[in-house]
Amino acid sequence: MKQYLKGNRYDYAVEYSDNGYFEISTTRKKDGRKSAITNLNTIIGEIIDPILNTIYVNESYLYIKNKKIGKKLYEFAIEVLNDKDWVSQYLESELDDDMQDEL
C-alpha cells in the first residue's frame, strides 16, 4: 500500500507492504529533493512510538513483523500527515532544519 499526501512545502508518501516494510518519505517542492523521513525524531515521536511502543528503525525504514500493527501504523501515519496544521506549523519546519543540516 502506498499513499501520497500533499503538504505546503513538501509532498509525502507513506508506504507499507505485507512483508513488513514501512517508510515515510518526502519530496521538497522547490527543488525536488527527496528524503526518507521515517527515522526523523519528529516522526518517531508523533507517529511511530504511539503505535509500536518499541522502535526498530533500520536506516530510513521500519520492519514490522505483525501485519495488524503495520496496517495500523500506516493508517495512523496518513491520519497525522493529513493534519494540515501540524504539518505546516511543525513538521515542515523540522524538515527544513533537517535538510539544511545535510547540506
Q: Which domain holds residue 6?
A: 2-69+76-101
Q: Compute the Cα dihedral for 40, 45, 50, 52 and give only its sign.
A: positive
pTM of the model: 0.86
Number of domains in the chain: 1
Query: pLDDT at position 60, please?
Result: 77
Query: pLDDT at position 51, please?
Result: 83
With CA atoms as reference, report the closest residue to 44 among 33, 53, 35: 53
pLDDT, one tens digit per residue, over 62-86 is 888 888 999 999 999 999 999 999 9
Phi/psi for 34 (5° steps) reads: -110, 150
